[in-house]
Each structure stands twice: as structure tokens, then as C-alpha cells.
Amino acid sequence: MSYIHRTIADLARSSPAQALFYQAVEEVLESLEPLLESDPIYRQNAIIERIVEPERQILFRVPWVDDEGQVRVNKGYRMEFNSALGPYKGGLRFHGSVNAGIIKFLGFEQIFKNALTGLAIGGAKGGANFDPKGRSDREIMRFCQSFMTELYRHIGPTIDVPAGDIGVGAREIGYLFGQYKRLTRRYDGVLTGKGLLWGGSYGRREATGYGCVYFAQNMLLGRGETIEGKTCLVSGAGNVAIYTIEKLYQFGARPITCSDSTGTLYDPHGIDLDALKRIKEEQRLSLREYLKEFPKAEFVPLEAYPEDGHAVWRFPGQVAFPCATQNELTEADARHLLANGCSCVSEGANMPSTPTAVELFVRERILYGPGKAANAGGVATSQLEMSQNAGMQQWSFEQVDQRLQGIMLDIYRRCSETAAEFGQPGNLVLGANIAGFRRVADAMLQQGVV
Ligand code: NDP
């Protein structure tokens, strides 16, 4: 049995039933093979065995009372994975599907993503199996207050700084921050994605989506093209998808799809951004609503999806941006994308493409930006928010956006140069994993066995 498969088998024994976590680990370890062979120091010091184990796993009960007076209980998580490069940093996800395996996969990915930004941030992730959908504002506030009543004792501006993710946006960060402040009497930069009136950074809301488009543009420029005039497929209709679409319009591209948990929307004229923001950000309704205003658009409900994949990837487009959730782009989807002339994929979501879809993209040598590189603009801008908070400053939108563009270019270069160094030019999966790993692993070596 190979070293990698032995590691996965050990994980499956010691941390059972965490399939998404093993998937994330396998993808990283496979890319690391050339590095582990050329430099034995990492294996000699058990860096792999240490890096797959979170430094600390916090699991807690989140009791709260719904609007009918009924007591509800959810499971809360914070996985503090790795602090070699800086304070733990990574989002909170509130979604019915959340479990320890999902949070561990996200936390593990976060270590390498954060390392790739070149900034001083460690990796973590957290959340709860709570679904804000259909809950009143007051229920969400009570849930967030209960969640923070446990979490506050584990976090701090130089210890662990959570942010948003699926189901955690500006509203939830506000309630979480309010409770933190009440419990600690401290006005700390302990969360990022805060409101602009109370310590937030300009550009943080837009950063993941904008960054993902900057990454695609960098990949295309490397091939002597630009994104201008290209037809684009986007999945998701949340924070990342909306600001991906906004930046695509600014760059003169035409995004023709988006999707949510009810189905896929296709508008050949381009998705109307104002309508999308109104339906998803303000009203929090299904994308189906879009048809009321634009009856010529098409909506494919979830029930009508192909058995082997997702409707969104079956429309023809030149560049694809998966921005919803994990494993939302299958091998069959990848084949359709390629057959329809798609030659660039930039991942806004975390691990949205299945392993066999990724294999196909790499084998066919299309421009493929894995999530840990392409969506790192969000966490990078969160770190800029931390810097502003520490210096009691607020930078302008233009300043933040300039920094974001520079960081995305650096990440692209770091991945490309590392891929070339290991004899696989253009393989950004290998480049991202090795470049991210090497930075964390070298810091771990220098800090001793801790
Ligand atoms: P949001 O909650 O704002 O939006 C998520 C979108 O994806 C919604 O449209 C939601 O549909 C849809 N969705 C979520 N889960 C599913 C599912 N199981 N099946 C179908 N559709 C689903 O989250 P974000 O936009 O913040 O996050 C999207 C992705 O980007 C995630 O993978 C996240 O980890 C990643 N990411 C986010 C960052 C950020 O800064 N926010 C940073 C880096 C990565 P509906 O509207 O119906 O709920």
C-alpha cells in the first residue's frame, strides 16, 4: 500500500465516516508526491501525519428557542486546524448538511489556501447544522447568540478569527459580533465580514467573487486571451456567485447562468444582476422568481437535473465558475463542458469539482484554477480587514481592490511557477498544493514538534 493510501486508511480508521475530508486529503497528498520524494525532511518529521490532524476540535451544543417557544438543539463546530503561519482563520457555515467531516474538509483546504495568499494566517473552519432558510430574523439572532455564547471563549483577534461561508452573511456576522461584544466587553476585530459602520472592510463582500474572476483573467492572460466578450457559466446565487457575475459584467463578459438549491436559471441575454440581487440578497427567494420579470429566461428545477450531474454545466459557455458548493461538478458535467468548448474553469466554491472531473481538466490541459487558489481572495481580504482593525483604520474600496488584484496575481504566479518547477507547467492543482504545503510545512519544521 502506498504512503498516501496508508495515510487515508489510517484516517478512515481513526476518524470514521468523513468521506469529504478523505477526498480533500487525498487530492492534496497525491499532488505532494514529487515533493515528498525529492525532499525527505517532511516525511522524516511526520509533517503529513501532523497536518491531517486538527490542532484542536471544538464541538458544542447550541440550544435556542424558536418563535413558537419550542426548544431546539443544534451541533456547533470549530476546527482549529493549523496555526503555523498565524492565527486560525476561516469561515463559519450554517447549513443543514454540516457535520464534522464537512468542517474538517473545509478546514484542511483552508490551511493551504491561506498559505497561498502569502499572508500570516493559519487555517480553521466552523459552523453548525442549522439552516437559516425559512427562519425569522429573531430566530436567527437567538441562534447566533447561543452559538457565540460558547464560541467566544475559543476565539480572539490574535487567536482565531472566524468569517462567513454558506448561510453566514452580513446579518449573521452582525448578531455574532454583538453577542461577542456583550460577553467580553471588547470591541475586537474578532470576526471578519463585519458591517462597514462597525469595523468592516470595503471590498470584503465582493472579494471572493471578484478574486475568482481576477484569477480566471490571469489564467487567460497567460494564454494570450482575456475574459472580455466570453460567455460564462456560473453556479450558485449567493455571495460568491453574485459578485463573480458583477465582476464578469465589469470585464465585458456575459454570465448566462446561476443556480440555487431549487434549480438552475439560464438567461441567454445575460443574468440581470439587479434582479438577482433583489431576489437572493434582499428577498431571499427561489431563483424561480426571476421568470416573473423575465419570462423568456429558462428555469430547470432540481427534479429535472440529469441523473449524472447538474443542469448548469449542460449549457454552452467558454468559462465556468462553480460558486455554490462541494462536488457540484461531476465527471459527466466536465465532459459536457469540454464538448461545448469550455476551456477555463475558475472555482469560487470549495472543492466543487469531483476528483474525476479534476483529473479530466488536468489531463485535457484546460485552464483550471482549483478553489484553494481561485477563491482565496475572500480570506485574503479578511486578513486586510484584520490589519485595518489592528491599526484602527478603514481603507478605501480602491485601496482594498488594488491589494486584492495584487494578491490574486501573486497566487497565480506562485502556483504556475511551482507547477513548472516540478515539471508539470500549467498544472495549477499540483502548483497550488505544493506551494501552499511547502510554506506551512517549513514553518512547522522551524517551530518544532508542537
Ligand atoms: P451563500 O450561502 O451566500 O450562497 C450559497 C449558494 O449556493 C446559494 O445560492 C445556495 O442556494 C447554493 N447552495 C448551497 N448549498 C447547496 C446545495 N447543497 N445544493 C445546491 N445549491 C446549494 O454562500 P457563499 O456564496 O458564501 O459560498 C459559496 C461557496 O463558496 C461555498 O463552497 C463556500 O465554502 C465558498 N467560499 C465562500 C467564501 C466567502 O467569502 N463567502 C470564501 C471562499 C469560498 P440557496 O440560495 O437556495 O440557499
Judged by DSSP in three states, 330 sits in coil
Q: How far is the CA of 350 from the centre of ligand 1 (A)?
A: 9
What are the grid coordinates assigned to 122, written together? 493559519
CATH code assigned at 259: 3.40.50.720
Q: How far is CA 440 from the centre of its chain?
A: 19
Is there a contact between 333 and 311 (Cβ–Cβ < 8 Å)? no
115-161, pLDDT tens digit by residue?
999 999 999 999 999 999 999 999 999 999 999 999 999 999 999 99
pLDDT reported for residue 2 = 84
Looking at the fold, whether 212 and 353 belong to one and the same domain comes out as yes
Q: Are residues 87 and 99 in the same domain?
A: yes
Q: Does 215 reside within a domain?
A: yes
Whether 64 maps to a domain, the answer reads: yes
SS3 83: coil
Q: Are residues 216 and 361 in the same domain?
A: yes
Same structural domain, 229 and 340: yes
Residue 416 within any structural domain of the chain: no
Of 155, 164, 165, 163, whose CA–CA distance to 188 is shortest?
155
Write the pLDDT tens digit of every residue in 387-403: 999 999 999 999 999 99
Confirm or reject: Cβ of 370 under 6 Å from ligand 1.
no
Distance 411 CA to ligand 1 centre (A): 23
Mean pLDDT of the chain: 97
Write the CB contacts of 232 (distance below 8 Å, at least 6 apart in sequence). 248, 253, 254, 255, 256, 317, 318, 319, 320, 321
Ligand 1 atom with minimal separation from the 376 CA: 43
Residue of 108, 191, 215, 239 best suited for mutating to test ligand 1, as the one with most atoms within 8 Å of CB: 239
Q: Which residue is closest in CA terms to ligand 1's atom 31?
A: 349
Q: Closest ligand 1 atom, CA of 193? A: 40
Q: Which of 204, 240, 408 to mutate to test the pocket of ligand 1 (most atoms within 8 A of CB)?
A: 240
pLDDT bucket at 4, cuts 50 / 70 / 90: confident
- Measured in Å, residue 236 CA sits from the centre of ligand 1 at 6
| pLDDT tier for residue 3 given thresholds of 50, 70 and 90 | confident
Looking at the fold, whether 179 and 231 belong to one and the same domain comes out as: no
How many separate domains does the chain show?
3
pTM, two decimal places: 0.98
Residue 194 included in any domain: no
Which of 374, 400, 425 is the last residue before a domain boundary?
A: 374
Per-residue pLDDT of 31-69, as tens digits, reads 999 999 999 999 999 999 999 999 999 999 999 999 999
Segment holding 101, helix H or strand E: helix 100-116
Atom of ligand 1 nearest to the CA of 379: 42
For residue 432, the model assigns a pLDDT of 98
pLDDT digits (tens, 9 = 90+) for 347-377: 999 999 999 999 999 999 999 999 999 999 9
Residue 402 placed within a domain: no
For the sheet containing 160-163, what is the strand order? 56-65, 71-82, 122-128, 88-94, 160-163
Tell me which of 359, 374, 389 is where a domain ends: 374
Backbone phi, psi, residue 186, to 5°: -120, 135
- Do 247 and 303 belong together in one domain? yes
Q: What is the pLDDT of residues 300-317, one digit of tens each?
A: 999 999 999 999 999 999
Geometric angle at alpha carbon 368, from 363 and 374, rounded to 5°: 150
Interatomic CA distance for residues 29 and 436, integer angstroms: 12
Structural domain including 108 reads: 54-187
Q: For residue 368, list its beta bridge partners.
A: 345
Read off the pLDDT band of 246 (50, 70, 90): very high
Neighbours of 316 (CB within 10 A): 14
Tell me, yes or no, whether 157 and 20 share the same domain: no
Task: Name the closest-CA residue to atom 48, ligand 1.
Answer: 261
- Identify the bridge partners of residue 353 per DSSP, sorted by sequence position: 329
In a domain, 267, yes or no: yes
Check whether residue 77 and residue 47 sit in a common domain.
no
What per-residue confidence (pLDDT) applies to 392? 94
Q: Residue 72 belongs to a domain with what CATH number? A: 3.40.50.10860
Task: Give domain status of residue 386, yes or no.
Answer: no
Fill in the DSSP letter of residue 153. Answer: G
Atom of ligand 1 nearest to the CA of 208: 40
Q: Is the CB of 324 under 6 A from ligand 1?
A: yes
Which three cell numbers mark 232? 460564462
Q: Give residue-wise pLDDT tens across range 55-113.
A: 999 999 999 999 999 999 999 999 999 999 999 999 999 999 999 999 999 999 999 99
* Residues annotated as catalytic (active site), given as ranges: 125
On whether both 224 and 356 belong to a single domain, the answer is: yes
Distance (angstroms) between ligand 1 centre and the Cα of 272 equals 19
Q: Is 378 in the pocket of ligand 1 (CB under 6 A)?
A: yes
Q: What is the CA radius of gyration of the chain?
A: 21
Residue of 168, 260, 330, 381 to test ligand 1 pocket, by largest number of atoms within 8 Å of CB: 260
Query: What confidence tens digit (pLDDT) does each residue in 412-425 have?
Result: 999 999 999 999 99
Are 279 and 366 in the same domain?
A: yes
Single residue among 374, 408, 432 that ends a domain in this structure: 374
Give the span between the Cα atoms of 88 and 92, in whole angstroms: 12
The residue assigned the cell 447566533 is 144
Distance 348 CA to ligand 1 centre (A): 9
Contacts of 308 (CB under 8 A, 6+ apart): 330, 332, 333
Q: What is the grid cell recorded at 135?
A: 427562519
Q: Which residue type does 229 have? A: G
Indicate the SS3 state at residue 295: coil
Answer yes or no: do 24 and 59 share one domain.
Answer: no
Q: Both 256 and 181 in a single domain? A: no
Q: Does residue 248 lie within any of the structural domains? A: yes
Cα of 159 vs centre of ligand 1, distance in Å, is 26
